[in-house]
Amino acid sequence: MEDQKVISRLTNLGKEITEDIMLNESPKISLPQRSIGNIHFNEEKNLLELGDKTSTRSFLNVAHSRKFMQTILIATKCKELVSREKTASIRELYYQLKHTIADTKENTFEDQNESDPLIVDLETSLGVLREELHLKADDKGTLIGKLTVEDSGDFIDCSKLGRSGLSIPSIVEHYKFHEFDAEYILVIETGAMFDRLVEEKYHLKNNCIMVSTKGQAARGCRRLVHRLTHELKLPAIMFTDGDPWGYYIYSVMKAGSMALAHESKRLGTPKMQLIGMTMTDIDAYDLEKVTEKLKDVDKKRISELLQYPWFQKKEWKEQLALMSSKGVRIEQQALASKSLEFVAEEYLPTKITKKQLLP
């Protein structure tokens, strides 16, 4: 969306609210609900979608007053950013807007946790993207492999950035992809496993692009994987820990998240598959002795996952049931119990060849 269009949407929001006030009506903002009750799983597309339920934030309701005021402050600041052609991190935005309210000891924002969710509210309510509001989250995630990316006129060969690879920024819209030589994209949950595979030159030996999400994937990372799979027509395979948290990270990469369900189409990679760690790996590779016992929070998380419509595939129900019955979880790095090279030389190539992948 063009900057001018974003500015006019923000201005219209302001005008509508001002009009309410002038007409002596309670000023309000309508927001799509982002709770599970308004999230639908589109099985055909394998994507989370936002329903059409909305909630209203009204200034005269004192339970909403503060958030209402904060939302408008954010909108105003975004309009300024777009007009000045500046981009701020969400943390910078928070500091830009934080000040003491006149004649009080109260701040407009007490911490960043107050402003972050309101940014998403603004995105969904205006139908604009965060990056279109000239906001960016912190950079998170790394990419390595034979791929040349054009960033603001610079050409970056991602195979020539040493062991650390390309740091994925929060906004990747302006990236253009040039030459590449890869058969698939391997997305890895932990930074430590990524480093192991880099050291083993896995991406070179197996001709793939490797991406690390470093825990729950940030938007930039998800958008990049989405674009790579769509634009370069490459399949994507994910490699996570064998626990409910790792599986959920996979599901977010694949189908999108509840918080950003409105952007699933741009962020999700529905054809992605999971290589491991699976519960069947434990027996197949004789890893029983290097598992860890499930904690109460793990068990609770498992039962939560079983409630989600996008975990209703029989393979996933089996995995989660197996995890419960074994009462254990397994980390990616537990494979080091065999040898440091095992993961790169045995585990991944074998499973990929045999297509032992979960949907």
Partner 1 sequence: MVNMTAGNEREADDLFKEFRETSITEFFRKNRAHLGYSGKLRSLTTIVHEIVTNALDACEEAGILPEIQIGIDSLGVEHYRVSGSDNGPGIPIKHVPDVFGKMLAGTKFHRNVQLRGQQGIGVAGVTLFSQITTGKPIKVKTSTGNGKVHEIELMIDITKNKADILKHEEYSEYWRGTGIGIEVKGVKFNLGERGPFEYLRRTAIANPHTRITFIDPEGRKTIFDRSSEKIPKPPVPVRAHPKGLEVDEIINMAKATKARKANSFLVTSLSRMSNAKVKEIQEYVSFDLDKNPRKLTWSECEEIINAIEKTKFLAPSMEGLEAIGEEHVRNAVLNILDPEFEAVLTRPPKVHSGGIPFQVEVAIAVGGQAGRNVGEGTRYELMRFANKAPLLFDAGGCAITKAVSSVDWKRYGIKDFENSPVTVFVNVLSTHIPYISAGKQSIAEDRKIMKEVRFALMEVGRRFQLYHSRKRRALEKEAKKQILLRYGSELASALAQLSNKNEEKIRKALQKLVDERITGMDLEEEEANESEMETMLEGESEDDSEIPEADFTTEEE
- Binding region for partner 1 (CB under 8 A): 10-11, 13-15, 17-18, 21-22, 24-27, 59-60, 62, 65-66, 68-69, 72-73, 75-76, 79-80, 101-104, 106, 108
Distance CA 224, CA 266 (A): 10
Select 25 or 173, whichever has its Cβ closest to partner 1.
25
User: What is the closest distance, in whole angstroms, from the C-beta atom of residue 323 to partner 1 in the complex?
Assistant: 48
CB 224 within 8 A of CB 269: no
Select 85 or 179, whichever has its Cβ closest to partner 1.
85
CB 107 within 8 A of CB 98: yes
Select 2 or 23, whichever has its Cβ closest to partner 1.
23
User: What is the closest distance, in whole angstroms, from the C-beta atom of residue 262 to partner 1 in the complex?
Assistant: 22
Close Cβ partners of 228 (under 8 Å, ≥ 6 residues apart): 147, 177, 185, 209, 234, 236
Distance CA 276, CA 293 (A): 18
Q: Which among 94, 95, 247, 308 is annotated as catalytic? A: 95
Select 63 or 293, whichever has its Cβ closest to partner 1.
63
User: What is the closest distance, in whole angstroms, from the C-beta atom of residue 108 to partner 1 in the complex?
Assistant: 6
User: What is the closest distance, in whole angstroms, from the C-beta atom of residue 15 to partner 1 in the complex?
Assistant: 5
Distance CA 262, CA 259 (A): 8
Select 12 or 350, whichever has its Cβ closest to partner 1.
12
- The full 3-state SS of 292-319, as one line of letters, equals EECCHHHHHHHHHHHHCHHHCCHHHHHH
User: What is the closest distance, in whole angstroms, from the C-beta atom of residue 105 to partner 1 in the complex?
Assistant: 11
User: What is the closest distance, in whole angstroms, from the C-beta atom of residue 16 to partner 1 in the complex?
Assistant: 8
Select 25 or 288, whichever has its Cβ closest to partner 1.
25
Closest CA to 185 of 171, 169, 172, 202: 202
User: Helices H, strands E: what count in the chain?
Assistant: 14, 17
Does 184 participate in catalysis according to the annotation? Answer: no
Select 106 or 150, whichever has its Cβ closest to partner 1.
106
Long-range CB contacts (< 8 A, 24+ apart) of 301-304?
Answer: 301/244, 301/245, 301/248, 302/244, 304/244
Give CA separation, 293 vs 99, 155, 280, 314, in Å.
47, 47, 16, 24
Q: What's the token pair of residue 343?
A: 């993961």
User: What is the closest distance, in whole angstroms, from the C-beta atom of residue 74 to partner 1 in the complex?
Assistant: 9
Distance CA 199, CA 202 (A): 8
Close Cβ partners of 28 (under 8 Å, ≥ 6 residues apart): 17, 20, 56, 57, 58, 59, 68
Using a 10 angstrom Cβ sphere, with 0-12 exposed, 13-18 middle and 19 or more buried, the burial of residue 120 is middle
Query: What residues act catalytically?
Result: 95
